[in-house]
Structure 1
């Protein structure tokens, strides 16, 4: 059994990779990041997640080693130089939309394109990408954060699509989104002000909760999004 964790240089991604290694369930754990960050016990690889040639090469290498039974996508973008969550539609920017969608929607989609085919047809397998509660359309009461919300809503739709397609070719396959809650990482640092201390998780806590959710998933759960506590996030 092989596990692959994308985004392993980030706080949650590193913790997920370390958590997967600690389970001892997998014959190999690949940790993939844009920087090629070193994680002890992992096969560390470097890739740009929107570069199909790099993803195809990586998939060919990993696929030759055996079937992938766990693929976690923990990369994403909330804010960066020139990109901030918008408080109003007056702040919308085509460049910001392109960057946020590339990181939060296109990258997981391309990873799925190249790694879902490596998953076994009958054996249980899980493809999970970090989503967010703010990507829920029905749960949106505050508005704002237009590009980020839209990119995660689009990701949730893709996950649903992947689940439907995988069910036809691989009945044991599970495709889900995972909402980790608010985690004390660089991504959320500027937005932690109103978060109660008990709801601000360390990366290790978040990884433990999410991997617990993954362990309990069944094919009937495929196509949905779950939070860190295992509760379904509304579409």
Structure 2
């Protein structure tokens, strides 16, 4: 049987880098593709690659705001592997300024558009160009049912956020980030419908990692209780547990890090 292939988009730091570490450590047969905007500056990825046999970890340049980059990445993966079992879209930005808007007067068109491009449009384009490869996957991630008609070939994981839930929003603020994650959740839902029409299907899920100790959330750590601020390793372990249990009943939904379903 061919080795499983996973691709982590936005892998140079934070959750993306930890997803790479997790798969390399816990999936010894898997081959890994890690993408980021500037591989030359990705010291963490270079260190991971140096610590594993040649070919185990492939690092590719990918700026999700440039569709030509996405297309070129898909071409490279097609040429080198011919299929894909898991795609995790991690790259995200809180806001170009580094802080979410606290009120309407802080909103700018540039800020909203830039955040939407990275957090929602980019992952959708990555899914567009990699979906043909996921449809050729071997179903190595997730839980396969006994019924042949319900089996899946690949899994798409979009790293979302609880603040993207419209039903859960009682505080307001953070216009760009909330809107981008709500849009990403809609993309997940749409993808799950379209890619479930194929046999075998591709499963799609949005996951909220909790508040993780990364550069994105660091400006707000003082407002987070210590027991609610997670290390990246813990967050990824929890999310991969959800991925390992994913099946056709759960596709197209959003889940908290602890496996509870998030309202749209």
- In the other structure, the counterpart of 2:234 is 205
Task: Report if the CA contact (8 A) 2:152-2:203 is conserved.
Answer: no
1:10 CA displacement: 2.2
TM alignment of 1:62-77, pairs within 5 A:
62-64=77-79, 65-77=81-93
Aligned Cα root-mean-square deviation (Å)? 1.5
Query: Secondary structure, in 3 states, of the residue corresponding to 2:233?
Result: helix
TM-score normalised to structure 2 length: 0.84
Q: What TM-score, normalized by structure 1, do the two folds share?
A: 0.94
Match of 1:99 in 2: 114
More displaced 10-residue stretch of structure 1: 180-189 or 118-127: 118-127
1:15 aligns to what?
Answer: 18
2:179 to 137, 150, 171: 150
Contact 1:83 1:96 survives alignment (8 Å): no
Greater CA drift, 148-157 or 111-120: 111-120
Instruction: Give the conservation status (yes or no) of the 8 Å contact 1:171–1:219.
Output: no
The count of aligned residue pairs is 234
- Greater CA drift, 41-50 or 146-155: 41-50
* 1:26, distance to aligned residue in structure 2 (A): 4.4
Q: Are residues 1:32 and 2:32 paired?
A: no
Segment of structure 1 superposing worse, 7-16 or 190-199:
190-199
Answer with 1 or 2: which has the greater Rg: 2
- 1:131 is matched with 160
Preserved contact between residue 211 and residue 229 of structure 2 (Cα < 8 Å): yes
SS in 2 for 1:233: coil
Aligned-partner SS, 1:168: coil
Aligned equivalent of 1:187, options 207, 210, 216: 216
Instruction: Report the Cα offset of residue 83 of structure 1.
Output: 5.0
2:127 is paired with a residue whose SS is helix
Contact 1:3 1:26 in 2 (8 A): no
CA distance in 1, matches of 2:261, 2:16: 22
Structure 2 counterpart SS, 1:44: strand
Contact between 2:88 and 2:157, CA under 8 Å: does it hold in 1?
Answer: yes
Equivalent residue for 2:141? none
CA distance in 2, matches of 1:207, 1:110: 24
CA contact (8 A) 2:157 2:205 kept: yes
Q: Distance in 2 between matches of 1:232 and 1:68?
A: 26
Residue in 2 aligned with 1:47? 62
Alpha-carbon distance in 2 for matches of 1:25, 1:115: 23
Give 5+ residue unaligned stretches, structure 2: 137-150
Gapped runs of 5+ residues in structure 1?
Answer: none
